[in-house]
Homo-oligomer: A and B are copies of this chain.
């Protein structure tokens, strides 16, 4: 963990170095992934079955690739009632927020008499990748599938690897609640290839979303263009802005909640109170001792963590915009006003009672967010990822008469005579036929 102060003479250079540090150390797996994709394209289900036996130690047949409805029923029944209720709270809230995001079509007739429009339509089919094995993340199923369903996507096909046959009931229950019934027990690059290209058993989709390991990320990169993909997520990060009136133990846990994801995660506290900074540093060490994932969280905090002392909140806002963090927590007297002075963040959590972890599960907005300073230009997952726009124009002879000559002039200036003539012939003819 680094301690920085904007009052230090070397602050500029130290902060620049912090910004440029590459935390993501993904290994390159281009070649093996290309081979797997080619194999799935060539041999379809047979390749999926062979690769799944090799990587997950599970023997499948074309008939058992897909999880049956009865298996999902059994998983739903196996979820303890309090957990089922928590899942319902989360799903309902995520649904409500994403439904509120749905945009409206545009239609306008202008002075020249042209009618212009923009129409939103859902994607036909979406593939959802869900990591399997030890770490089961039902929240990720909800956050990826519910926006697709809210957008009106007709078909959501989910792939989840089941190493040694393991498949968390809560993941299946989350899928059922989110409206996903088409679930395949495959993972890795082979699952991405199957979703992009299709096999005898799995029909291809139009876009693939969801987190995965380096093989999954590389496979998504390689099938991009054939299908759409979501952005490739880097390590998670949080910036907490907190004044001296906050509880250091709360802030310490907020920083560690991010750090426990991954050793490459990054937690940064920005405060205007040096004594509070000290208190949080101590509270982090104490909280770490009681954490099951102390090894990971501790390594992340020591390597990537930082506490930055600022002179005022305007200075803090400037630093946040340069960090453009995935998560931003604001615990000051006027959090919404301070948020209004910050331009770049994936998601913000305002006030002492709004820890970022609430947003990971139940607040409603999506927890799939831009990492690695990309919130300067990118946004979190939303219904927009599952919709596309078609613009349209309608004109009659009079309208074409008003705007056509300008188009002819520009087309001729660009040397595109067929463009110009396709308009000019209509202007001359006075009649379409």
Residues of A with Cβ closer than 8 Å to B?
82-83, 85-87, 89-90, 93, 96-97, 100-101, 103, 106, 108, 110, 112, 114, 116, 118, 121, 123-124, 135-139, 170, 206-207, 225, 227-228, 232, 245-247, 249-250, 253-254, 256-257, 259-261, 287, 291-293, 297, 331, 335-336, 339, 343-366, 370, 372, 374-380, 382, 384, 388-397, 399-400, 403-407, 409-411, 413-423, 425-426, 429, 432-433
Contacts and interface: CB of A to CB of B under 8 A. Distances in A.
A375 B390 contact: yes
Contact of A86 (B370, B399, B405): B405
Contacts of A112: 93
Contacts of A93: 110, 112, 403
B390 A348 contact: yes
B357 A411 contact: yes
A420 B403 CA distance: 61
Contacts of A139: 410, 414
Contact of A97 (B85, B96, B116, B137): B116
A395 B351 contact: yes
Contact of A100 (B106, B362, B403): B106
A357 B393 contact: no
Given A114-B363, A352-B426, 10 more contacts: A89-B406, A116-B363, A124-B343, A124-B344, A135-B414, A349-B394, A352-B432, A352-B433, A361-B406, A363-B393
A260 B417 contact: yes
A417 B291 contact: yes
Contacts of A227: 377
Contact of A365 (B118, B170, B396, B411): B118
- Please name the 3 residue pairs, one residue from A and one from B, whose CB atoms are nearest each other, closest first: A352-B432, A365-B391, A228-B377
A137 B372 CA distance: 35
Most interface-central of A110, A331, A409 (chain B CB within 10 A): A409
A400 B82 contact: no
A208 to B, nearest CB: 10
Contacts of A426: 250, 352-353, 355
B418 A293 contact: yes
Contacts of A82: 409
Given A254-B422, A392-B350, A376 B297 contact: no
Contact of A407 (B347, B357, B413): B357
Contact of A414 (B138, B245, B378, B425): B138
A418 B287 contact: yes
Contact of A393 (B103, B354, B410): B354
Contacts of A331: 432
